[in-house]
Amino acid sequence: MKIDRLLLALVSLAAALVALAGGAASARAQVYVIESSVPDIKVGAQLAMADSLSIPAGAAIRAVLPSGKTQTVKGPYKGPVADLAKGQEINEGVVGWLKNIMQTGGATEATPGATRSAGAPARPRSMARFSWANVPTSIDGNVCVGKEAKLQLARAPVPVAQRVAVVDVDSAARAEVEWAVSGDLVAWPAGVAVRPGGTYYLLVEGRPRRQLKLEVLDTLPSEDDVLAELHKRGCRHQFEAFVREKLAAAKP
């Protein structure tokens, strides 16, 4: 009898843990709106799986699904938000990065149903534009670039930099380039090869040394797969630039 009771208790505990895990996953499984022409659904809205979605004819939203893919939903459409993400696994990494952007981008208090919104944050002057070719000189980390892209180094905004030295960590090849007074971009130096997976030091006078790794993409992802690809390759700077650009574009 004691053994039977013990087994029953273990089975009940296992069931409770499974239910708890499922509830936690459900709580994380939200859809984030990054473009919208529907008056009642603001850019930055976080739609829960239990919400109902109604899009009139001629309107549309573009949302990031829990899988990390983006999807455009055109009206007329009416149905539960859960239908958009049906059969897709949650990409915890993409969701985490996206949630962080929403929280730090000027989140507003929640409002009922499908109008819960993080709002579109004010665009800082120094906020980088999303690009597959521009390499920032003020960050550390991975940068995703297109294989055929003509790379350019983006000037650090404050203090205003005049020149930058690029050093290949493995080969020690070094070259220096200078920004024009009226420009914020300068071509990647010809004396330093662009290598897939290559690591580089960026040396700007008066600023900390930066270390970047170039993730060279043979083929650029489709628009719907941009965020998932950037996350997979660790290119967080561009991930944030892509999302913040969408949010800022909706600000009046």
Q: Is the model more confident about 149 or about 7?
A: 149
Give tens-digit pLDDT for 81-112.
999 988 788 999 999 999 889 877 533 323 33
What is the mean predicted confidence (pLDDT) over 149-164?
86
Nearest Cα neighbor of 32 from 97, 89, 78 is 97
Per domain, the residue ranges of the chain are 29-123+235-252, 134-219
What pTM did the predictor assign?
A: 0.79
Place of tokens 């650029």: 220
- 138: helix, strand or coil: coil
Q: How far apart are CA 65 and CA 88, in angstroms?
A: 9
What is the mean predicted confidence (pLDDT) over 209-229?
97
What is the mean predicted confidence (pLDDT) over 161-166?
92
Q: How far apart are CA 180 and CA 84, in angstroms?
A: 48
What is the mean predicted confidence (pLDDT) over 32-42?
93
Q: What is the pLDDT at residue 87?
A: 78
Q: Please check whether the domain covering 134-219 is classified as CATH 2.60.40.
A: yes
Q: How far apart are CA 77 and CA 110, in angstroms?
A: 24
Give tens-digit pLDDT for 3-27.
555 444 433 434 333 333 333 343 4
Place of tokens 């239990």: 50
Strands (E), the chain: 30-36, 46-48, 52-55, 60-64, 70-74, 77-80, 134-136, 141-146, 152-154, 163-168, 174-178, 185-187, 199-204, 210-217
Kindly state the tokens that stand for 142: 């991975």
Q: What is the pLDDT at residue 250?
A: 78
Q: What angle do CA 112, 115, 119 make, to 5 degrees?
A: 120
By the 8 A CB rule, do 163 and 179 touch?
yes
